[in-house]
Structure 1
């Protein structure tokens, strides 16, 4: 017997029985094996396993006793099913790895509404989605203490429950916050050993490694601004002398913070950075010791930085800088698809367009039309170039890093329509889609779940 995807079913309760009994749709019988010729078979849910008495019926739902659900830690409702060597597997169990928030009524901070919406779509897709915090999985016992979003007394809310170990983990934690560092470090070690499909995306590496990867191919190299890893003040000095404007940014993402724009103005350097959503500016004399000391202390310490050629970005009619975020995702058949095309507009004289530093999101074609690309031909050329660049970059990164489910790729576009890649976000947020299109936001969550089904073996064949 081989591996057969049977589709999605509804798990319903068989009340009043403590025995290990299930009833299954009759059309599945040909794919399932009875234990030793008896009316018994093996059911699995994640890492959980139980042998049950089985009968078949014409109904399409799966009825099971409380004893079976308790043994499998299986929730009621929709779930996907496949037959593997004659055994029946329920899943996939997808664990979202997140941090809690101190905000009352907002369990996971700004991600709370996104996770609630994702859970609702997961129910339609037949994915058992739950959220767990660092240190909340009992790896030895194989039990996840977690949060599920479901109906309770007629109201939807987050409830504490238990689930099998995840088949796949969707990380939503940026970095390793000090308070959680040891728990996260321990969990990451266990994930590598005990989670069958690991994490949703492999690590892409820090920005310098990404740049080096893309420099290896002519197809992607042409979209890159000149970039260096900062090892000494001379690395910044040389690019600044050549381009007059450079950006210096950490090798690991910071949602727009700790990014500096350095502009050469005669014998001075204008230094700009963002703090509390405001752009702060000061000047240093280029020949002075304060300038050299600034470079050494700020960019040549323990934290690694890149220096990158400044691009003369397209600006909107109010003078704010504009860049473009292309959200590119894998679908349920492992194909790259462009889900969202968004323009991000910064405040006047801002150095970044990140929403966390005060930027706003606009539908990309609309912004291009409003800012000089009014002819259909020129508009289409820029959009096609951005589409081409995003697909080429995603494939090249995937070839190097391994499995990747989605990327947020940021581009700069000049007034002439030249396209440059600014950076890649391996864990793109959805705040920009909340501002531009609720339908596209929902599609982006759906594609995550479809790809999770593909990765765990529960996707229906084409």
Structure 2
């Protein structure tokens, strides 16, 4: 297969005729396969999944002129677009689809992702990427086109346009809304059959699968807390005996929801019974002392749970079965002795790792997330706040530049090794959000991996980094589809 990126061009109208004609820069001539029909030179042209043959004229202009008849057949928009030659066929693209669930919120057709998509549109134009948004049911797979949404910067409105099927899909659905389950399943199947380059990210959102993949690599196990899938109440009880404190979370879950914390408390020790979640550290317990209890805590926006059970009692086991062995898969993970701030505010760190246009892993952003006082999680959706990681470390235990940079380098090294390990096991990965914990001694632990990281924390800390994160998505999409020089 012969493939050559030809750079970018600007598609302009060729007025006054209904024939399928286009003019091309003369330097492209040697890369294209010409067919002569009735003394006319013709070439094959593709846009996404759409293909046609058109008469071609080579000029000394950099822009491309195309007749309306040609553009309508190919669904080729005017404006900047990248170009490549593949086995003598001219390709315009890439057509990249942002796939998400619709929203009924006024002014936000794609919910909380609306502003993100809007800000990606002009960046895509700069790179010659034809970017659009589509939702479940928008793709006409059999007919070969998409009822797509683009943002019109002149009118400041979203508008519907017809576009070819995407060359690459960026799935942005976090969990499948029940109302769209059948459409999402159908679309997902088509991504593998009818989208030339599939999806942007093959990484799984299953935390247990991710842990198993990482656990097989001795080079990364030192960053992994002990973690097990819950198959019976005894799995939780055994972890409590070993560590004294554990977290329970769903194998599939986002935004810090459905997180529980269990602490093994000695009833004869009143101080332990009053400990807060952030003050409890991991400890080893060989056997439960007489009369000890398990404190169960769960907090979310809508509810707060504090319950106490006798260790290994029928009531505790019934609770564990009801909540963690019914429908969803849950994991139990040791509580780590992590850094906390004054007032019992938990801290963790998000490393945004992305591939750039050269298919190389880069650290795009290093962010610290500070949870509300005595919260179980640091997620922004549950009251957390974001600050640049180096700033937080400088003010909380690492004032020395050399030691602080050494810790940041340790986190960079861990992030790179984890990304490379997952990529080896999974396939293509364009970006990952890695959540780390740090102990007061500077020990690094991986908390979890997010295959579809959000950008809100970057909006709160550094708009420039947010812009860079969007650019890298587009550069990687352009590289993956063969349009990046």
TM-score by length of 2: 0.92
Structure 1, residues 192-223: CA drift from partner, whole Å, max 9, x if none? 11111111011325111111111112210000
Counterpart position of 1:93: 95
Alpha-carbon distance between aligned partners in 2 of 1:342 and 1:280, rounded to the nearest angstrom:
29
Within 5 A, what are the aligned runs for 1:351-362? Answer: 351-362=376-387
Which residue, 121, 124, 127 being the options, matches 2:126? 124
For the Cα contact (< 8 Å) 1:230–1:304, is it kept in 2? yes
Matching residue of 1:317: 342
Which residue of 149, 152, 176 maps to 1:150?
152
1:19 equivalent to 2:19? Answer yes
Q: Aligned with 1:321: secondary structure?
A: strand
Residue deviations 1:221-246, cap 9 Å, x none? 00001111101111111111221111
In structure 2, how many angstroms separate the alpha carbons of the residues matched to 1:292 and 1:2?
63
Matched, 1:190 2:190: yes
Q: Which residue of structure 1 aligns with residue 232 of structure 2?
A: 232
1:379 counterpart (380, 384, 404): 404
1:204/1:397 contact within 8 Å kept: no
Number of residue pairs matched?
Answer: 458
Residue 416 of structure 1, aligned match among 426, 438, 441: 441
**In 2, Cα distance between equivalents of 1:281 and 1:295:** 14
Q: 2:300 — aligned with what?
A: 275
Q: 2:77 aligned with 1:52, yes or no?
A: no
Shift of 1:277: 6.6
Distance in structure 2 (CA, Å) of the matches to 1:358 and 1:80: 42
1:338 aligns with 2:363: yes
- Whole-Å separation in 2 of the counterparts to 1:190 and 1:377: 51
Deviation at 1:394, TM superposition (A): 0.3
Residue-by-residue CA offset, 1:156-179 (whole Å, 9 max, x unaligned): 321101110101100011222210
- Structure 1 position 319, deviation (Å): 2.9
Instruction: Name the CA distance, whole Å, in 2 between partners of 1:287 and 1:133.
Output: 48
108-117 or 212-221: bigger deviation: 212-221
1:232-291 CA-to-partner distances (Å, cap 9, x unmatched) read 111111111221111000001221000101112212222221221765433233354322
Deviation at 1:130, TM superposition (A): 0.6
Whether the 8 Å CA contact 1:327–1:340 is kept in 2: the answer is yes
Contact between 1:278 and 1:357, CA under 8 Å: does it hold in 2? no
Given that residues 171 and 199 in structure 1 are in contact (C-alpha distance below 8 angstroms), is that contact kept between their aligned partners in structure 2? yes
2:436 maps to 1:434: no
Name segments (4+ residues, structure 1) moved above 6 Å.
Answer: none
Which secondary structure does the structure 2 equivalent of 1:175 belong to? coil
Helix, strand or coil at the partner of 1:386: helix
Q: Is the 8 A contact 1:279 1:349 kept in 2?
A: no
* TM-score for the superposition, normalised by structure 1: 0.96
